[in-house]
Every structure is written in C-alpha cells, then in structure tokens.
Structure 1
Amino acid sequence: MYAERASRLTGAVMWTSTPAGPGPGRVLPDGCMDLLWHEGRLLVAGPDTRAYLTDGSPGRWAGVRFSPGTAPALLGVPAHELRDRRVGLSDLWPAAEARRLTARVNAAPDPVSGLEEAALTRAAEAGPPDPLLSRIVAALDAGRPVAATADELGIGSRLLHRRSLAAFGYGPKTLARVLRLRRALALARGGTSLAETAARAGYADQAHMTRDVRELTGMSPARLLG
C-alpha cells in the first residue's frame, strides 16, 4: 500500500509504502532523489535513468521525495555520484552525523514526521535553492530543446550539462526524457488515449512513445498502465 502527501518543504512529497506481498517492486524514473527510512535505517535513493527494481524487502518504508535538483545541496553529495543507486546515509556522511540524524528520525512519533523535520532543518541550513535549477526543469518540462534552453538561460550547453550532472544526476537530454515520461504517464492515467498522450507529451508519434517508455521503464505503456 502506497500513500503520499505534500511536504511542508516546498516542492517535496512525503510518502509511505508497505509491500503487499513478496517479490520485487518497480520504481519509475522521475528526476527526483529521496531520503528513505526502512526498519530504523536511513538511505538515499539517487536519480534513476531507468526503472529501479526493489528487492522486495518486507516492512514499512517512508521517504521524502525532493523536487528535481534540490537534494544535492541538502544531502551534500552531487547527484551523479548516486545515479541509479540506493546508498546508506552512513556511507555518505561522517558516521557520527549519520547516527545523529537516524536517531532523530527514529525518535519522532512516526518516520514520516521525522524525515520531514530533518528535511526542513537541512533546507534551512542550506539556504534557498538555486533558482537556475528550477528554470532548467521548467524549460525542459515545457518541451524546450536543450540547446534553446541553454541559450535562453545564458549559460551555454557545456555549463548546462555540468550543472545538470551535479543537480539532477544526468545530462539535460536524459532529464528531458524523464520529464516527458512523467507528463505522458500523468496524461494517460487521467484517461487520455495513448495516441493523444504521445502528441501532447511531445513524442514524434505513439510508436516513439512506446519505444522510449519501454527503454526507461522496461514495460510498454499499455502494460505499465494496466
């Protein structure tokens, strides 16, 4: 069972998940990074370039999903170092600091509230997010070409690529594909036909969408939605 709500941290989402039964699960690429709690342990989920298959570990999971590009400044690690990975917080932070945060989350009334308070504290310490990152996401999510996005932001293609690696975990072309996948799934889940979804999400045609969705998720759109 999965549930989520908006966080008090702008742009973030709080969520919980309890596997319904044994077997792996599938986490789709979304351009985000998460701070996870599982059985008293904290982990960091890096940005995915393809569907991540979980190991089906039993027990409750909780997490805070940070908006694209914001987690590296809060967690102190470039996103590309965690691409397609799940890593214990103790492997990223000094041991004493990781233990303190883990104890703080475990002492909260529930892990969701503990994670949220931890995220809010880290955000206050880090200061406001870089506005350039949200502009990159907005431009690419609107379907703007990468070169045009770089020109409009006045940073050049090479700098855009470097900033994207550090903030999102991959280059702007991959980020644009992941954001397009999110748009397509939102449309299709809202009842839009696959042909119309392909056109509105920015694919050349439905066949193009099917190929791209399969590469990113390991499943066809019809199977994924079914």
Structure 2
Amino acid sequence: MGTADFGYTERASRLRGAVAWRHRAGAGGPARILPDGCMDVIHSEGRLIVAGPDTIAHLTWIPDGARTAAVRFAPGQGPALLGISADEVRDQRVPLDALWPSDQVRRLTERLEEAPDPVAVLEAALLAVDRAPDPLAPRLLAPLRAGRPVAGIAAEVGLSERQLHRRGLRLYGYGLKHLARVLRLGAALDLARGGVGLAAVAASAGYADQAHLARDVKALAGVPMKELVP
C-alpha cells in the first residue's frame, strides 16, 4: 500500500451517536490519548478491547504498521450496550472477552481478521446487541457543555446531586463535574486548533482566564497547550 493508506479516518457510525474509525500506523511510537468522556470498542493486533473513559491522558505505544478498526461511543452511550457500568472500566483497556462470552468474542475476532472492511463487521456485531441506552445520558451533555452548574442540572432532571453523581459514574465513568472539565477541554482544543488565540479560547470555552485554561489543560492532558496545538 502507498503512503496515502496510512493515518486516521473516521465517519458517522450506523450506531446512533457513535463514530466508526480506523487507523493504520506507519512507523510506530508513543501516543497520547486525550480524555473525551467516550468509550471505544477496538480491534487491533488480533485483539478486541474496550477502552474505558479516561480521567486524564492515556499514554500508549503503537506498534509499527498496526491496523486498528474501532467504534467510539458518545459519552454515556457505551455502558448499556456493553452491559457494564462505565466506572468499571474507567482508565482501563479491558479485553472484550472479560465482559462478553469468550466464544462470542473469539468468533467475532476471527471474522474481523478476515474481513476486507473490519469496521463494518464490528458495527454489525454491536448493532445486533439490542440494549437501549439510558435516555438520561444525552440529556445531560448539552447543559454541561453550556457550563451549567451540576446542582441546577440535578434539579432539572429530578435527582439529588448525590443521585446524579451515582448515575454519572455508571454512564460516564466519573461524576458530572469531571465530565464537564473533559468536555470543556475538548471545546478549547477545537477552538485552538481552529486558530483562535488562547485568551479568546479561555473566554469562549468557559474558563475564568487564560491561566485557568493553562492549568486545566496541563492537569488533564499532561502537557501544555503548545504541545497539543503547535
């Protein structure tokens, strides 16, 4: 294959709200995976794993020429389909056969190894799992992205803050206050990568000031913004 076959591509998945993605590495090396509140089911190097929601950046090593096919679930979408609570896999990479029957996972892995389009095969297998997501999951994201306080969101959905925290652990892997920080980081990176200056990024994304932006980026990503947005 030519060099155009290397790199990362994604598209909207047939699973509502999810993203189907693939990656083929050229030369391998370290990779920094930033927290985004999402969970992924990943096929790579002959293995199926679930990437749980990360609280901070996850550091990994990508082998030379590694091929990856995956589905990324929107925040809160994956737990119901996978039959788990998100906090069970928080900050972890867990073999799928630890969560699903091993024979089922083995057969799916064999199909993925042979398939010309493994992403489509993985999507079909996930679509066949008839488990509806918790309707509360997407309902909470818009007010969090808008910077609404958790206490107000809890009152709107008819839960106490403690009850909402427990639901957040099951749906997202962590409480809503941390999820809000993760979502705000994503918004800030999108703005910065679009050429917006850091002072304007801080104001637009809901940080108190540029110093607050810098502290939160370093805390969640492990490196300063300049290393994420050259």
TM-score range, shorter chain: over 0.9
Query: What 5-or-longer segments of structure 2 have no aligned partner?
Result: 1-6
AA of the residue aligned to 2:219 = E
Could you tell me which residue of structure 2 aligns to residue 73 of structure 1?
A: 80
Residue 195 (str. 1) matches residue 199 (str. 2)? yes
CA shift for structure 1 position 57: 2.5
Q: What is the correspondence of 1:163-174 to structure 2 with a 5 Å cutoff?
A: 163-174=167-178
Separation of aligned partners in 2, 1:137 and 1:219: 26
Could you tell me which residue of structure 2 aligns to residue 33 of structure 1?
A: 39
SS in 1 for 2:43: strand
Q: Normalising by the residue count of structure 2, what TM-score does the alignment of the two structures yield?
A: 0.92
Query: What 5-or-longer segments of structure 1 have no aligned partner?
Result: none
AA of the residue aligned to 2:44 = H
Could you tell me which residue of structure 1 aligns to residue 109 of structure 2?
A: 102
The answer as to whether partners of 1:105 and 1:118 remain within 8 angstroms in 2 is no
The answer as to whether partners of 1:72 and 1:79 remain within 8 angstroms in 2 is yes
Q: What is the correspondence of 1:1-226 to structure 2 with a 5 Å cutoff?
A: 1-58=7-64, 59-122=66-129, 125-127=130-132, 129-226=133-230
CA shift for structure 1 position 144: 0.6
The answer as to whether partners of 2:80 and 2:134 remain within 8 angstroms in 1 is no
AA of the residue aligned to 2:49 = L
The range that moved more, 101-110 or 206-215, is 101-110
CA shift for structure 1 position 107: 4.3
Separation of aligned partners in 2, 1:187 and 1:217: 16
Separation of aligned partners in 1, 2:147 and 2:126: 30
SS in 2 for 1:99: helix
The range that moved more, 161-170 or 130-139, is 130-139
The answer as to whether partners of 1:106 and 1:114 remain within 8 angstroms in 2 is no
Separation of aligned partners in 1, 2:26 and 2:87: 32
CA shift for structure 1 position 103: 3.1
Once the two structures are superposed, residues 132-155 of structure 1 have per-residue CA deviations (whole angstroms, 9 ceiling, x without a partner) of 111111211111111111111111
